[in-house]
Chains A and B, each alone.
Chain A
């Protein structure tokens, strides 16, 4: 079975600072994908970034990067130069690469950006 653990229920960061959201995972699958989603207070789920287990380089998407450390089974999200609009819940998720993309989610981290 796959499991995602997000140990930070809440984080408070000053605007323009970088922030790292932690995510560790557990799986026996040799191939898997790791995702980060953002859920603002309006409730929708917004895809941020994806990392495949075989990817040699860490994924980046604009201000988002994924710090993938396979040996440690961690997939931390780094947001550079945080903005007030980054305040939201952030979910780490994973799936098997083969077959249907059945996502397993962590419990989330609530990020608050202070002006």
Chain B
């Protein structure tokens, strides 16, 4: 397996533009997580899915952020409109189960810069 795949790896956009980040989890994993990493806040859980259904989106910063998982092998995180404070590295991770002793497998991340 190629591991968790994220695209693009880098994204530079201007304030007000729509940004879409993509993730392909490891095949067979039932859980998918979106994280944001910044120097100020560290690693934050934004939302996670179980069997394509969003379970907890309490970490999503505001209505400008939305996430979907139309099938077991694809998820998107969308920011519309984007703002400079959204600049961060966004990670997608997947696992067999949530919580407990289950390891999460992380993708390489998307570095987003909003000018």
A and B interact physically: no
> Measuring CB to CB, which residues of chain A are less than 8 angstroms from any residue of chain B?
none
